[in-house]
C-alpha cells in the first residue's frame, strides 16, 4: 500500500481542529448597534464631537464619547442624530479606538449623512439625519472612547 493516501489522511485529521476552532470563533461574533448625536463644523479643518449608547446582541452595553477630526475641502456646520452598526466584533471593548474615515458630503437646511469606516478588522457604518449645511470632501479619524 502506498504511503501517500495515509499521509493525506493524517494531514486532514491534524488540520480538522484548526477548521473547527475557526468556525467556533466566527460563531462568537456579536452584533453591536450605536445610537448617537454628533455636532460639528468645518472650514478646511473638520471638527465634531458627540455621544452615543452602544448595545450588543450578547447583552453588553456602553456609553461612549465620539470625536471626529480631519481636513480637506470642507465647509459647513451640522448636528446629526443617527445609528451606527459594527461588524467584526467579539467583545464590546473592540469598538473603542480610532477609525480611518474619508467622505464626501453635501446638505442644506436638513441633510442626511452616511459613511463607513474601519479600524483593523472592525468596521462601522454610520447613517443619520440632521440640520445644518455642509459641502466638501475630507479625510480624517473618528475616535470612540468611554
Average pLDDT value for the chain:
83
User: Is residue 99 within 8 Å of 118, Cβ to Cβ?
Assistant: yes
Cβ 70 vs Cβ 138: under 8 Å = yes
Domain boundary assignment for the chain: 30-145
pLDDT tens-digit readout, 105-128: 777 777 677 788 999 999 999 998
Report the DSSP beta bridge partners of residue 128: 82, 113
- The class that CATH gives domain 30-145 is mainly beta
CA-based nearest residue to 144, from 80, 98, 84:
98
**Does 47 have pLDDT greater than 80?**
yes
For residue 136, pLDDT beyond 90 = no
pTM, 2 dp: 0.78
CA distance 52 to 81: 10
Residue owning grid cell 454628533: 38
Amino acid at each position: 500500500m502506498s504511503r501517500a493516501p495515509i499521509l493525506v489522511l493524517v494531514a486532514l485529521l491534524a488540520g480538522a481542529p484548526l477548521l473547527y476552532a475557526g468556525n467556533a470563533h466566527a460563531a462568537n461574533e456579536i452584533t453591536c448597534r450605536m445610537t448617537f448625536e454628533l455636532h460639528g463644523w468645518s472650514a478646511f479643518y473638520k471638527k465634531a464631537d458627540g455621544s452615543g449608547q452602544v448595545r450588543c446582541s450578547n447583552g453588553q452595553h456602553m456609553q461612549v464619547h465620539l470625536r471626529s477630526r480631519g481636513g480637506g475641502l470642507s465647509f459647513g456646520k451640522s448636528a446629526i442624530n443617527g445609528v451606527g452598526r459594527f461588524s467584526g466584533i467579539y467583545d464590546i471593548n473592540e469598538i473603542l479606538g480610532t477609525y480611518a474615515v474619508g467622505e464626501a458630503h453635501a446638505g442644506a437646511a436638513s441633510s442626511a449623512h452616511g459613511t463607513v469606516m474601519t479600524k483593523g478588522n472592525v468596521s462601522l457604518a454610520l447613517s443619520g439625519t440632521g440640520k445644518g449645511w455642509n459641502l466638501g470632501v475630507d479625510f480624517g479619524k473618528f475616535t470612540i472612547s468611554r
